[in-house]
Structure formats: C-alpha cells, structure tokens
Amino acid sequence: MYTIGVVLNDLGTFKPDQTTAQLTHALAARGHDVCVIEADGIDVFPEGRLVARGRPARALPTPEDTVAALREAPLERLPLAETDLVLLRTSPGRDRRAGLHELLLQQLQIHTDRGGLVLNDPHGLMVARSKLYLARFPSWTVPHTVVTADMRSARQALADIDGPAVVKPLDGTQGRDVFKIAGPDEPNLSAILANLLAQGPLMVQAFVPQAADGDVRVLLVNGKPVVVDGRAATVRRRPAKGEFRSNVHLGGSAEFAPLTPALRKVVKAVGPQLRRDGLFFVGLDTIGDRIVECNVFSPGGLADASRFADRDFLTPVIDTIEARIAAAVEKKAAGGGGSPA
C-alpha cells in the first residue's frame, strides 16, 4: 500500500459529492495511507525539507463518513519525502488568499525536483493555470481567440471576429465576469472592457453557436478520455433560460452527453500536449467541436458522469493513479529517480 497526500483548498468547503472527496474515499478504501492537507498546510524547513500538516482519511463506508471523520481528525505531520504520491486537488480561482497557491506550486516543484510524484505536475500547472494555455493547442481545436491587456486591441479583436463574441478574464472560474458581446457596437462595451482590464489581461473568443445547447465536460486521464464499456466520462451542462453560461451554480442543469466522433478527434489532438505538461487528470469544457476551457487544477464531474452513463468511472481513475505510483516507485528503486512522464 502507498502513502498519499491529497491537497485541497480547505476542509471548510470540502463536500462528499465532490470528485476530490470521491477520490480520497476510494484511495482510503483500498488500504492506502491517505493524508488530507489544506493548501496552507505545508511548511518549509532548512535545506528545503517539506513537512505537511494534515489529517488521516480513514477507510469508512461512504464518502460522507470519510469527510465527517476528517473534520474531527487530529492534525499529523507528514514529511513529503515519505509520500509515494501527492494528489493536488486545489482550486486557486476559488481562494482569496493572495500568493498562497503560487507558494504551494513552488513547494511541490521542489518536491518533484527531488524525485517526488505530484499529480498534476506543478510545473505543468504553472504553465496551464490561465486560459492562455489554450494557445498551446492546435488552432482548429479552439474558437478564434485573442488575449490582450490593451483596450484598443480588444476592440480590434471584436471587430475581426465580425459576430458575437465572449470576453472574460484570463484568470477566473465559475463563469464570473464572463460577457457575451453582440459585436463592436455593443452598448456598454467600454465599461465591460474597462472593468475586465482593471483586473488584468482578458480573452476575446468567438462565440460558438452551439452554446445554446450548453457545454460538454470531457474528463481525461493521461491525455485520453476515461471510457468504460464504450461510454466516456462526459457531462453536458445546459444553461438556464435567459443565460448563455452553463455553470450549474448559475442555474444550469447537468445531463448525459455522448462523446461524438468530432470531440474524439479534438481530444486526440490535444492529448499529447497534456501528457508533455504532466497534466494527468484534466477536464476539457467543449462547445460543439471546440475547446473553450481546460480545467487542470481540480476538474470535477466524475460522480455525475458515472450516474448519467450508468458506469463506474471512479475505479479506472484510481487504477491509473495506482499504476503511476507503482511506476514511480519502481523507477526510484532502480536508481532512476524522478517521476515518470
């Protein structure tokens, strides 16, 4: 059995129906020593020694039991050098503690430089932490997209699209500050762009007409869709009436969605890039046959996908995690050091 640290934002927002809770419960149920660590729970000592303050996750009957017990569990200290895996499941966009998640990625980069295994890889997360990561994908897999920190360039991008567009912050989550723009003559356009640019660079993206049908989250492991008995781990989110954003917390609804041949082609095209960047578990948000978001920190939807497709998608994800740990342990025992690609 392995020693695994699961890192999340904080226990106060940890819920049993979340993918992170499902993974934590399943790993503990398989007999692994699982320690749940909050994002501010790693200390750095002389010579860069990393020690986590976390709570043990016990093998209990349900995720609800596991989460409830975690809240009452005493803090324990776990040197990261003694872990076989750190499973990073944080969401920086939902945490107001400035600089904390940058620090965490730097800490975990030290750990990987010394041969530790972290999923997803911290360097890959640094590269992919903003929506700019879409620029690394083949252009035909994403809508026409421009990223800029300049008002004039943003207006020109909207004029070049010559149709509806979406403008949004380069960093953000849950659909916050995402606006649909009819065109360069949109009323209040100056105010919208000024508000976004005050926060930092923005993204201008051509509006995909199929957005009326919502978006489809495709869950990938090792750059490939999670598939069981011919069905993939996918979830369609439909927007509420009068809303173009599909986020569930904005009134959107979730349902089953097949992985179409067009989407399979798109996923196959971007899979090698995800693997090169060490992005082990990823959620691609797609509209039509285009990728509009790449969720790399703590993609969710695994439980919904399992329920809608009547398949157990959790088990193959856990199997693949264990296989990655085994490969890393074997490589280290052979004197190779580091973690497998």
Most confident of 76-85, 92-101, 155-164, 252-261: 76-85
Query: Averaged over 108-114, what is the pLDDT?
Result: 97
Whether 239 has a pLDDT exceeding 80, the answer reads no
Give residue 240's pLDDT band: very low, low, confident or very high (50, 70, 90).
Answer: low
Q: Which residues are bridge partners to 148 per DSSP? A: 202
Query: Residue 226 in contact with residue 217, Cβ under 8 Å?
Result: no
Query: Averaged over 128-137, what is the pLDDT?
Result: 93
Query: Averaged over 247-261, what is the pLDDT?
Result: 74
Domain residue ranges of the chain, discontinuous segments joined by +:
3-119+321-333, 144-207, 210-310
Give residue 248's pLDDT band: very low, low, confident or very high (50, 70, 90).
Answer: low
Question: How far is the C-alpha of 165 from the C-alpha of 143, rounded, in Å?
Answer: 10
Report the pLDDT value the prediction gives residue 174, as an integer from 0 to 100. Answer: 62
pLDDT tens-digit readout, 291-337: 999 999 999 999 999 999 999 999 999 999 999 999 999 988 887 65
- Identify the CATH assignment for 210-310 out of 3.30.470.20, 3.40.50.850, 2.60.40.10, 3.40.190.150: 3.30.470.20
pLDDT tens-digit readout, 169-187: 988 666 678 999 988 888 8
Report the pLDDT value the prediction gives residue 254, as an integer from 0 to 100. Answer: 85
Q: What is the mean pLDDT of the chain?
A: 92
pLDDT tens-digit readout, 214-230: 899 999 999 999 999 99
Whether 104 has a pLDDT exceeding 60, the answer reads yes
Give residue 288's pLDDT band: very low, low, confident or very high (50, 70, 90).
Answer: very high
pLDDT tens-digit readout, 262-283: 999 999 999 999 999 999 999 9
pLDDT tens-digit readout, 148-172: 999 999 999 999 998 999 999 988 6
Q: Where are the alpha helices (DSSP H) in the chain?
A: 19-29, 63-72, 100-113, 122-128, 151-161, 189-199, 261-276, 302-309, 314-333
**Residue closest to 36 by CA, chosen among 173, 72, 17:** 72
Report the pLDDT value the prediction gives residue 207, as an integer from 0 to 100. Answer: 93
Question: How far is the C-alpha of 57 from the C-alpha of 60, rounded, in Å?
Answer: 9
Give residue 247's pLDDT band: very low, low, confident or very high (50, 70, 90).
Answer: low
Which two structure tokens, joined as six digits, stand for 145?
A: 């997209």
DSSP string, 117-141: -EES-HHHHHHHSSGGGGGGS-GGG
Give residue 251's pLDDT band: very low, low, confident or very high (50, 70, 90).
Answer: very low
Fold adopted by 3-119+321-333: Rossmann fold (3.40.50)
Whether 341 has a pLDDT exceeding 50, the answer reads no
Exposure on the CB side of residue 333, measured as CA atoms within 13 A = 7
Whether 94 has a pLDDT exceeding 90, the answer reads no
Which H/E stretch holds residue 165? strand 165-169
Report the pLDDT value the prediction gives residue 339, as an integer from 0 to 100. Answer: 44
Whether 81 has a pLDDT exceeding 50, the answer reads yes
Side by side, the strands of the sheet bearing 33-45 are 76-79, 49-57, 33-45, 3-8, 85-88, 118-119
Question: How far is the C-alpha of 103 from the C-alpha of 44, rounded, in Å?
Answer: 11
Question: How far is the C-alpha of 119 from the C-alpha of 275, rounded, in Å?
Answer: 11
Homologous superfamily of the 144-207 domain (CATH): ATP-grasp fold, A domain (3.30.1490.20)
Q: Which residues are bridge partners to 147 per DSSP? A: 203
Cβ-Cβ contacts under 8 Å for 16 (sequence gap 6 or more): 25, 62, 63, 64, 66, 67
Q: Which residues are bridge partners to 255 per DSSP? A: 236
Whether 241 has a pLDDT exceeding 80, the answer reads no
Whether 113 has a pLDDT exceeding 60, the answer reads yes
